[in-house]
């Protein structure tokens, strides 16, 4: 995981991850993901992916995003128009965006799942807060290193 500078001389880990998965026939496959330093960038990436997937319905997908050097997710072929319209509606709804930001602020994941009912295809877009530094500190407090036994 890449680290960023948050204050002079202080390094902090990227705090969020975002990803898109597809589930069909009982199998879940990742379409792509990214680690980002803040929740606003997570939401921006998720909105772009939602619109990209929706706009790819029935035609070739939009080119990859140049900002952040982020790879866009692989395209999905929908068989109906319900899922693409749900993705567009979510990406354009300010209330949904506020709910997603609030979820991330409170330490919960922000998830959206759309279903293509014709073939049972589920596409899930999600963002999660990640506290690797806090996890590592808690883990080391619960499981201290064994005592050194040099020269024994």
With bands split at pLDDT 50, 70 and 90, how would you rate the model's confidence at 138?
Answer: low
Q: Which residues contact 6 (CB under 8 A, 6 or more apart)?
A: 12
Average pLDDT over residues 107-111: 93
Average pLDDT over residues 107-119: 91
Per-residue buried b or exposed e for 34-44, using 16+ beta carbons within 10 Å of the residue's own CB: bbbbebebbbb
The answer to whether residues 56 and 20 touch, using CB atoms and an 8 Å cutoff, is: no
Q: What confidence tens digit (pLDDT) does each residue in 52-104 have?
A: 899 876 665 556 556 544 577 888 888 888 899 999 999 999 999 999 999 99
């Amino acid at each position: 995981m890449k680290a960023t500078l948050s204050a002079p001389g202080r390094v902090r880990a990227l705090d969020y991850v975002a990803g898109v998965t597809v589930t069909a026939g009982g199998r879940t496959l990742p379409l792509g993901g990214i680690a980002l330093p803040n929740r606003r960038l997570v939401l921006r990436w998720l909105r772009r992916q939602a619109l990209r997937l929706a706009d790819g319905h029935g035609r070739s997908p939009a080119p990859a995003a140049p900002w952040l050097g982020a790879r866009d997710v692989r395209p999905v072929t929908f068989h109906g128009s319900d899922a693409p319209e749900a993705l567009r509606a979510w990406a354009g709804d300010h209330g949904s965006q506020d709910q997603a930001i609030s979820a991330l602020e409170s330490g919960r994941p922000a998830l959206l799942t759309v279903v293509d009912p014709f073939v049972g295809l589920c596409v899930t877009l999600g963002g999660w807060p990640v506290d690797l530094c806090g996890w590592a500190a808690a883990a080391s407090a619960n499981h201290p290193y064994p005592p050194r036994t040099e020269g024994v």
